[in-house]
Amino acid sequence: MALEPIKQVKGRAVHVPGNDIDTDRITPARYLKVVTFDGLGEALFYDERFNPDGSEKPHPLNDPRFKGASIMLVGANFGCGSSREHSPQAIYRAGFRALIGESFAEIFFGNSTALSMPCVTATRAEIEALAQAVAQDPGLSVTVDVEKLEVRYADKAFPVSLPATAQKALVEGRWDPIADLLEAGDLLEQASARLPKAVLS
């Protein structure tokens, strides 16, 4: 049984500027000790958002104008560094459902897709124009159309890119490989039964 198809993501956006933002910055290493991903959204960019005493630093995610945003605008090579699954988990559990960036690290991209969170790419100029529009109107509604591969806001639209395999998985609700394996249980058992038995010496 297919999961929820992700054809569009619609919501408000926030711009987190900078290139080569790695997973150590997205989720500091001490948060890797968690047993489950529950509550991991609180760790998102923690060291960049908070001082050691817990007081807030200036950061887009601390700006009350962007509270409740569900689409994150980022730069190039976002999610690079170590391949921790915690980073996309933290972003997802903080309420984000799509990212628009210049480019994404491969493993981060795959982990995000497996959470039903599309990471679409666009040109720097298009992202900066959208970021400027969002800064002027934090309540601006933004639509990431996974099916049509475009982003729409106000009276504007621009094309985005997404690998065909990821687009198909999201639009058809096949984005969770574990769910696919569980669904294919009978087929896997039948295939296993056809394999030659190992000979033990």
Tokens of 123: 């040109």
Read off the pLDDT band of 82 (50, 70, 90).
confident
pLDDT band (50, 70, 90) for residue 198: low
Domains of the chain from N-terminus onward:
8-173 (3.20.19.10)
Q: Which H or E run contains 98? A: strand 98-101
Which residues have a Cβ under 8 Å from the Cβ of 104 and sit 6 or more positions away?
77, 78, 79, 112, 119, 121
pLDDT exceeds 70 at position 8: yes
Report which of 11, 25, 28 is spatially closest to residue 67, judged by C-alpha positions.
11
Mean pLDDT of 34-48: 83
Does residue 40 carry a pLDDT above 90?
Answer: no
Please report the pLDDT score of residue 93 as a whole number: 95
Amino acid at 78: F
Distance between CA atoms of residues 194 and 170, nearest Å: 32
pLDDT in tens, 119-173: 999 999 999 999 999 999 999 999 999 999 999 999 999 999 999 999 999 999 9
181 vs 82: CA distance, rounded Å: 26
- Residue predicted with more confidence, 201 or 111: 111
pTM: 0.86
